[in-house]
Every structure is written in structure tokens, then in C-alpha cells.
Amino acid sequence: MLLISPNGKRIRLSIQTYWHSLTGKEVIAFLKQILRSVPGPIVLVWDRHPIHKRKIVQEFLSEHQRLHMYYFPVAAPELNPVEFVWNQISEYTAGTAPHNHDELKTNVLAGIARTRNSQKRLQACLLGSRLNWLN
């Protein structure tokens, strides 16, 4: 998830990695983490992945008035800045040839860290989408 300050001057990447299929419980745990770390209202703009529409997730969202949810249009990944995060991570790992699961995990986590630690890369994710996020 990309967290953008209201004035657009600070962007933060928050990712929780799992090595198994996600359920609504993991989504809720992640949202709780965001609620603890971000003060004030939070606008969620996310894709229409089925995990976001699970009943347990929808109930959690309805119970937390600070969370305001909007969906990206169907079949429009080019509007979602998080897709550009995945592109950067894929680009970072593309030149690697891990020999096992641990090496793959290390490479993916390094790609995440590279993107997370660069305001320039995070801004590029926003600018790569066709929406005007910073004005």
C-alpha cells in the first residue's frame, strides 16, 4: 500500500509479505496496522481483487469510520500506482537467478527495500499512473 500525505510531500510504502495465500484476516491485520500508524481519516483506493470484497473485510471497513474506501475501475491496472511498485520489484529481481526459496525471498525483500527507501521511486509510481495524485 502506498501511503501519501495530504499535501503529497511524503510517500511511504507499507507492505506485509506472506508466503501463503491470503485470507480476509491478513487484510484486516494490515488495515489495523495502518490505523495504528496513520492519524486522521484514511482514504483507501484499491483494486477489485476478491480479497478486498470479502465479507469479513467489508464488515471491518464499515466498523471503522476513519477508513473511506474507493475502487479503481475494472481492468485498469495502469491507474493503480501499486502496479508500478510491483513493476519495480520485478525489474529488480529479473536479473537474478535464485537457487532456492531463501535466495528468492532475499531478492524480493531487497527489491521491496530499494523501492521503499527511495522517495524518487515512490513518486515515479504515482506519476506512472494516469491519475493526478499530487495536485
The tens digit of pLDDT for each residue in 98-114 reads 999 999 999 999 999 99
33 within some domain = yes
49 within some domain = yes
pLDDT at res. 73: 81
**Which residues fall within 8 angstroms of residue 18, CB to CB, at 6 or more apart?**
26
CB atoms within 10 A of CB 96: 14
More confident residue, 58 or 2: 58
133 within some domain = no
pLDDT of residue 135 exceeding 60, the answer is: no
39 within some domain = yes
For 58-84, what is each residue's pLDDT tens digit?
A: 999 999 999 988 888 878 888 888 889
pLDDT of residue 134 exceeding 60, the answer is: no
**pLDDT mean across residues, the chain:** 88
- The domain that contains 64 carries what CATH number? 3.30.420.10
Whole-prediction pTM value? 0.77
Judging by DSSP bridges, how do beta strands 11-13 and 42-46 pair with one another? unpaired
59 within some domain = yes
Q: What average pLDDT score do residues 10-34 get? A: 89
Strand partners of residue 45: 70
Strand partners of residue 70: 45
Q: What average pLDDT score do residues 124-132 get? A: 82
Longest CA pairwise span in the chain (Å)? 46
Domain housing 64: 2-128
111 within some domain = yes
134 within some domain = no
Domain count along the chain:
1
